[in-house]
Amino acid sequence: MSRVESIDVPTRSLPAHTVSGADVGQEVPGEPLAARLAGRAWELLAGTRYTGYLLVAPTVLFLAVWFVWPVLTMVHLSLTAHVVEGVTVEGFTLENYVRLYASDLYFRILMRTIRIALMTSLFAAVFAYPLAIAIARGGPSLARLVTITILAPLLVNVVVRSYGWQAILNKTGALAWLLKLVGVSNPPVLLYTEWAVLIACVHVYLPFMVMPIAGAIGRIDRSVEEAARVAGATRLAVLTRVILPLSLPGLAVGVSLVFSLSAAAYVTPQILGGNFSPLLGTLIEQQILTLNDWPFGAAISTLLIAMVLASNLIFLKLVSRRFARWTAGAR
């Protein structure tokens, strides 16, 4: 009998990863059709030069429908219609803008709006730097306390805050009582004045100035400040020659936000300024809702948007030039 010898056949072990049905184009049981289509569409689009455009397309579409189109409609209305004796007259015209600059009342309201917006930005920047330094350079407990104190008013409705300031600034309010307590027999009346609007605007929009500046100061390397102190600079010199120049980007963002918000404010000026110190927001409301003069209200709105955009662009350009000059001098 012949002996059959056993032959060892070499075998290869299978890899840990086995090919699934999805890898060969087969459907995975239980996978929704929408998920499969979305995954395949993303595989086709990922890595192409149009991927970035596709990612921002929903946001651009949303802004185009809900922001750009209404603004263009408003501009078109301000240029193609005007009201004569209560009747709307169609046709291209610049009468709405001429009327805005020709009337002394409207021009004074425009100048008041610009003045209050600039003063709000200035005072907010002055008050914001100590608070921002406390947030960026203080201990964790101090930073949390200051941050909560700054952001807590944002949790309260702006109407409630404005009426709170009304209670403080009237003749029998807390401010008048405090001034009488320190010996001022006839305290000044601040309610329904520009000062009341200014004080409330600074309080309302101060967080929008503090947080960008605090973020900019937090990004400054502390070794730069320590080097200045070692070189003999005082704390004031470090603030003016190191911290302030390097925090200009944060200041630019804060000023842009505060100026835009205060120039377009309506609730606070209406409650605290009333008809004695109206701003452009109050004037727009009166023209559209009270007088039903939509073309003139659209012209004022267009002017307000153009003024805010132009002011922000000019300020950002000046700040960028100054920042580039200071950083070039530092190098």
Core vs surface per residue 251-269: b (16+ CB within 10 A) or e = bbbbbbbbbbbbbbbbbbb
Helices and strands per DSSP (H, E), number in the chain: 17, 2
CA distance 31 to 38: 12
DSSP letters, 240-298, are IIIIHHHTHHHHHHHHHHHHHHHHT--HHHHHHTTTTS--HHHHHHIIIIIS--HHHHH
Question: What pLDDT is stored for residue 240 in this prediction?
Answer: 85
Nearest CA to 71 out of 264, 262, 303, 253 is that of 303
Instruction: Name beta bridge partners: 89.
Output: 82
What pLDDT was estimated at residue 328? 65
Strand partners for 169? none
Q: How many domains does the chain have?
A: 1
**Exposure b/e, 220-241, CB count within 10 A at least 16 = b:** beeeebeebeeeebeeeebbee
Q: Residue 87 belongs to what H/E stretch?
A: strand 87-90
CATH number, domain at 253?
1.10.3720.10
Domain presence at residue 222? yes
Average pLDDT for runs of 10 along the chain of length 331: 46 46 48 67 64 83 92 93 85 90 88 93 94 91 92 88 90 84 82 91 94 92 87 86 88 92 91 86 90 92 91 83 68 54
**Is residue 201 assigned to a domain?**
yes
| pLDDT per residue as tens digits for the range 226-270 | 888 888 888 888 888 888 888 888 999 999 999 999 999 999 999
Q: Is 179 a member of any domain?
A: yes
153: domain range?
90-330
Identify whether 19 is part of a domain: no
Q: What is the dihedral of CA 180, 183, 188, 191, to 10 degrees?
A: -30
Tell me, yes or no, whether 67 lies in a domain.
no
Phi, psi of 112, rounded to the nearest 5 degrees = -65, -40
In a domain, 155, yes or no: yes
Phi, psi of 190 (to 5 degrees): -100, -20
Q: What share of the chain is helix, strand, coil (3-state, %, to 5)?
A: 70, 0, 25
Residue 47 inside a domain? The answer is no
In a domain, residue 142? The reply is: yes
Cα–Cα distance measured from residue 30 to residue 311, given in angstroms and rounded to the nearest whole number = 57
